[in-house]
A and B are shown apart, each in its own frame.
Chain A
Amino acid sequence: MFEWLIQPPFSTWIIEGLSLTVEITLFGVFLGLLLGTLLAIGDIYGRKPLRGALAVYVEFFRGSPLFIQLFIAVYTVPAILNLQIDHYLLAFLVFGLNSAAYQKGYIKGAMQTILDDQMAAGLSVGMSKAQTLRHVILPQAYRIVIPSWTNEFCSLTKSTATLAFVGLFDLVSAGISIKMWTFQILPVWISIGAIYLVWITGFSKIMDIIYEKKKIPGVELLMQ
């Protein structure tokens, strides 16, 4: 039933699919963290037109299905620009942009719980707003945001299943191919599901350990 798991080419397909899933998720959450931070700062300090533009961005990426976003990026955008762009590159970008829309909210929320007093303290010692953001606000906000960030990672990992829709070879695409060759439908999907489960659980556990190590003594009390 499961013997195909160690048989090439099926085992290679699984490894290939898993590595795309892992790579695109990690790239997505890190690009999302970076862009999400910029979006959060823009939303807090920007003028109205900028905040409006950010809101449109966030609503587009949160409000439409990921596979439609992928579809537009992979097929429509290159056609409009009349350019050949690597599909993998476009998919990586969509994952980052999509994740940024969610992470903006988490980061902004974390910043706002500490912004008033910590910004006043930073300015009072002669630091600029930018210095205070960098050395005081963000280091605290990132620590607070780790659990939400881990959730975002879990959800993004499972969203990689949509890559199959645009012909990219992720873990689900691997499953589809293997199923067609082996006809072991249930065992294939159980195995694919188990791989997701192990990877997500392992990574989340690591993030939990990092959270415990990095958390600021007493700050979680302040937040309750």
Chain B
Amino acid sequence: MTITSNLESQPQALEDLVVIDLTDDKGMYMGKMMADMGARVTVVEPPSGHPARHIGPFYQDKPDPNNSLLFWYHNTNKESVTLDITTGRGAQILKEMVKKADVLLESFAPGYLDSLGLGYEELSGINPRLVMTSLTPFGQTGPYRDMKASDLVSMAMGGIMASCGYDHIEDAPPIASDGRMGYATGCNFGVMGTMTAVVYRDFTGQGQWVDVSIHEALSCTTEAAMPNWFFDRKVPIRQTGRHHGLTPTPSTQFTSSDGKLVNGFDIPPRSLDRWNRMVNWMDENEMAEGLKDEKYRELISQGVRSGPEMDFLRERIEDFIASQPADSSYHGGQQIRLAWAVIRSPEENLEDEHFRDDRGFFPEVEHPELGKSFAYPGHPAMFSKTPWRMRRRAPLLGEDNERVLSQEMGLSPSEMVLLRESRVI
């Protein structure tokens, strides 16, 4: 069985869904995931532009509402309508759009849409089938609901940072990854909550409100840390590039001859079979001297993991990794079923034939206004019947005003002029 992705003739899983996307830079990944799967997602943004349009990096390093790469990536396949929903007419137009929408996504501070008369009570009165998803740093309720956050604050409070950092640098701070991983994790749950509500609506016809907390999304994304407390009342320590632990474990980052790092695993291998293959592999490179000793085979079969012999084997494998380019260790290790990897920078995957050619992970997305196309990362799952697809680059600011507002909603030409002049659109 093969999955042939992106065949134009194939349907898309969410092609029946109409989504209004009112989110800011916290929540825009939700709508992207749905748009890439076929939903019609309309970004309703202030005439000054969505907040992410003002955050870099920018195309050719020129700040401009249509040049933000952060916005480009998170708004593929969406359309853009500018609308000032804080004005009476703007709110009225949004309510008109809600009548025909299946889903509304938003990430304003709790209570803000209510203050505009656009809260869930109001909107569900207009359209009881509406699924409305509100993504906020702490959720709609509780003593922290009005606290201020950023991706960094969410990564701190959710417990991510307590587990990430260094043990080989004395007194190093806990580290939050670059790349807005807190928001992304909140958005993953936001889409999950939204799709759950959509599925429930399939069964019952009932819409509902989904209240998603980024703080909670991160608080359940720390693997063993929570069970460590729930069951053992213990706090793990941070370690460089490897699992937090209740006790220290050996390093897993190894230097290679080309300066890149290898992420090693299971060193020396726990299974005798893999150990034998490891020795053969090193032997082929004339680096196995002394390692064929029966003593080591015995210790490994006995499951010994520490002590001078294991330290010695670890050093020898470290020397071996250091003697060759990182890619040789990565592929060589995988050939003998060791889950080794090279530590890549994101752009270094563009040349990976498995992802690029076999899985079509890096489609070229056309930017007609620039006369260019650029490779974009795709989607984390291949669907055999309803593939993800890059139909269109992120919209220019207000690119779809004319089609959506005047052609589809029937606003008159004179009103369009008036709204434009009064900066409602």
Q: Do A and B bind each other?
A: no
